[in-house]
Amino acid sequence: WTVVPDFTHHAHSASLSAVAVNNRYVVTGSRDETIQIYDMKKKIEHGALLQHNGTITCLEFYGTAHLLSGAEDGLICIWNTKRWECLKSIKAHKGQVTSLSIHPSGKLALSVGTDKTLRTWNLVEGRSAFIKNLKQNAHIIKWSPDGERYVTVITNKVDIYKLDTASITGTITTEKRISSLRFITDSILAIAGDDEIIRFYSCDSQKCLCEFKAHENRIKDIYSFEREGQYVIVTASSDGYIKMWNLDLNKIKDVPSLLCEVNTKARLTCLAVWLNRASETKENSDKAATSPQANEDEKSSIVRRKKLCQTGKSDKTTKRKRKITPEKQKLEAPLPKKKKKQNSS
């Protein structure tokens, strides 16, 4: 496993505060109040979204068609990723929006803000569905992959809620502030924060299954993906290192093994992993046409071709190129005009 810079761009005039990916785009939010779009298939800057007034605090894609953004101005914006237009701008919180999460069904979203509320949004109708008052400001909210539960993080405390009752079923407390949280499975949580340690917890028993020191400084973000039955944890720290770990769920109590690490020589603030699913599909179909022995030989090398927030060499078919419609190119120039339209609406 190796990590090499593949596409680098000076994206913003201030530090990055949020990043999100779907199968084609990477979007970054910043303290400069803008959202920048990058086309990872073409490896080019695609444009900017200028709807918010305030630091962009959270970004999340749903599928290939929609993006939700939240910011310090208290707004949640719903974007169409085909034309990159703002479908709806919701005044979500009286204070700042600190975190949002979209239900796996795409029909609901949850958000938390500095007004000490947890709000449920009906995304089908674009309106508020439920408001729950919290005792303190939560700074992270996250759905489980199956959508049966969700968690909120308040400083160093994780509250686990069940969807059908909307009540707390358990609480996990750590010694120091939690900066990032990730569901590895429906019932296993990875938690990281200011004490350089990653901990895996069971949502059912709230017991710590495993813990290990991952970095020399606070961990700012944690991400995970599954490939060929292998779970990979990716961590980014203020010490400038990105590290990738192999997690064996059958031996969850064992410390994950380090696959690779890279010193970016930057103070990292957020992380996302872009998975080039299109090339994976092509590789798998090519393998199917080869002999069984070649199929086995290719398995390990394909796993190693995973790239972090970047893609490999372009091996797309002409059919894929034809799918990139002209309206995508039209968007890059007239973005300021679109802002006027959004303001008037």
Q: Is the pLDDT of residue 297 over 90?
A: no
Q: Looking at residue 315, what is its pLDDT?
A: 42
pLDDT band at 320 (very low <50, low <70, confident <90, very high): very low
Distance CA 174, CA 191 (A): 9
Q: Looking at residue 280, what is its pLDDT?
A: 53
75 located within any domain = yes
Q: What is the mean pLDDT of residues 289-317?
A: 41
Q: Is the pLDDT of residue 314 over 50?
A: no
Task: Give the structural domain span for 29.
Answer: 16-217
Report, in this order, helix, strand and coil percent for the chain, each rounded to 5: 15, 45, 40
262 located within any domain = no
| Least confident range of 133-137, 140-144, 282-286, 306-310 | 306-310
pLDDT digits (tens, 9 = 90+) for 3-13: 888 888 888 99
139 located within any domain = yes
Distance CA 213, CA 171 (A): 23
User: Is there a contact between 38 and 26 (Cβ–Cβ < 8 Å)?
Assistant: yes
Q: What is the mean pLDDT of residues 196-205?
A: 93
Q: Is the pLDDT of residue 260 over 90?
A: yes
41 located within any domain = yes
123 located within any domain = yes
Length of the chain equals: 345
294 located within any domain = no
174-209 burial code (b ≥16 CB/10 A, e <16): beeebbbbbbbbebbbbbbbbbbbbbbbbbeeeeee
109 located within any domain = yes
Distance CA 79, CA 62 (A): 10
List phi, psi (to 5°) of 232. -115, 125
Q: What is the mean pLDDT of residues 233-246?
A: 94
Q: Which residues contact 152 (CB under 8 A, 6 or more apart)?
A: 112, 118, 134, 138, 140, 141, 158, 159, 161
Q: What is the mean pLDDT of residues 20-28?
A: 94
CATH number at residue 173: 2.130.10.10
Q: Would you give the distance in Å from CA 184 to the centre of its chain?
A: 13
Q: Is the pLDDT of residue 192 over 90?
A: yes
Output the average pLDDT for the chain. Answer: 83
Q: Looking at residue 277, what is its pLDDT?
A: 67
Pick 173 or 319 by higher pLDDT.
Answer: 173
Distance CA 228, CA 238 (A): 30
User: Is there a contact between 197 and 213 (Cβ–Cβ < 8 Å)?
Assistant: yes
Number of separate domains in the chain = 1
pLDDT digits (tens, 9 = 90+) for 201-239: 999 999 999 999 999 999 999 999 988 878 999 999 999
Left if phi > 0, otherwise alpha if psi is -120 to 50, otherwise beta: which for 265? Answer: left
The half-sphere exposure of 122 on its side-chain side, counting CA atoms within 13 A, is 6
Q: Is the pLDDT of residue 329 over 70?
A: no
Q: Looking at residue 337, what is its pLDDT?
A: 46
Percent of the chain predicted with pLDDT > 70:
80
291 located within any domain = no
| Least confident range of 76-90, 224-238, 275-289, 322-336 | 322-336
Q: Which amino acid is at 238?
A: S
pLDDT digits (tens, 9 = 90+) for 103-141: 999 999 999 999 999 999 999 888 899 999 999 999 999
List phi, psi (to 5°) of 104. -55, -25
